[in-house]
Amino acid sequence: MTIGILVALPEELSTLTRLKLVQGDCVSIADNILLAFAGAGPVNAERATHLLIAKGAKKLISWGCAAALSPQLKPGDLMLAEQLLSEQQQVFDTDPRWRKRLHELLDKQFPISNGKLAESSHIVSNSSDKHNIYRQTGAIALDMESCAMAKVAEQSNLPCLAIRTIADPVSMSVPQAVTQALNGQGQVEISKLLCFLATHPWEAPGLIKLGLHFHAAQKTLKIIAKQLNEIIVF
């Protein structure tokens, strides 16, 4: 049975393959594993999920990083979402049997957080905004793609999982340099980032801290990726 994995960002893509893909690509990285490089945001995620299904995926995983909403979550922590909450307050369930098997496989290696993963159609950069979403929804983390994938999975009657590791903690506001350097695909353009830093050098410590947090999230994903053959069987 073929599994389809959706990633949004190059940094997430690199935890699964060394292939150099462009946004919109959907390729086989093993006999029974398809990988779609969606780009950021729910619209891109929905499009990529349909492509994965069209190419034969019968199980779906949203793979990558998330922002913490719960104060208990720290960079590098693993979250296996039980439910995905859309911006329109729709709730989608991940597959409980598959998620349980993943717990059994990984819980001796990582502390695993369960709970609700909220959707945002844009980057939530401000710490106070993340705190507000936590209070309003009860979701413990936030991303931009998982819910869109789950919606298509439900429509197609396919099981899905959201495997997300924490990058920025709820206490951290994303440096303005990052939001200023984003392009239309949700990726940071280095030239824009450097230009902004040239006139806002005080942003550098926050960028370094965010980079370390993101590295912790990537490290966890890379460890999990080594067990991908076991993860996809349930």
- Domain ranges in the chain are 3-231
Torsion of CA 86, 88, 90, 93, to 10 degrees: 0
Region class of 186: left (phi > 0), else alpha (psi between -120 and 50), else beta: left
What tokens were used for 54?
């069209």
Cβ atoms of 117 and 145 within 8 Å: the answer is: no
Secondary structure letter of residue 226 according to DSSP: T
What tokens were used for 26?
């959907």
State residue 14's pLDDT score: 94
Distance CA 202, CA 204 (A): 5
Region class of 89: left (phi > 0), else alpha (psi between -120 and 50), else beta: left
Region class of 24: left (phi > 0), else alpha (psi between -120 and 50), else beta: left
pLDDT in tens, the chain (234 residues): 899 999 998 889 999 999 999 999 999 999 899 999 999 899 999 999 999 999 999 999 999 999 999 999 999 999 999 999 999 999 999 999 999 999 999 988 888 999 999 999 888 888 999 999 999 999 999 999 999 999 999 999 999 999 999 999 998 876 665 666 566 666 666 666 567 656 667 666 666 777 788 899 999 999 999 999 888 876
State residue 107's pLDDT score: 84
Q: By three-state DSSP, how is residue 155 classified?
A: helix
- Topology adopted by domain 3-231: Rossmann fold (3.40.50)
Q: Which amino acid appears at position 223 of this protein?
A: I
Cβ atoms of 26 and 48 within 8 Å: the answer is: yes
Distance CA 30, CA 15 (A): 15
Which residue do the tokens 């911006």 mark? 87
Q: How far apart are the first and last CA of the chain?
A: 10
Q: pTM for this one?
A: 0.89
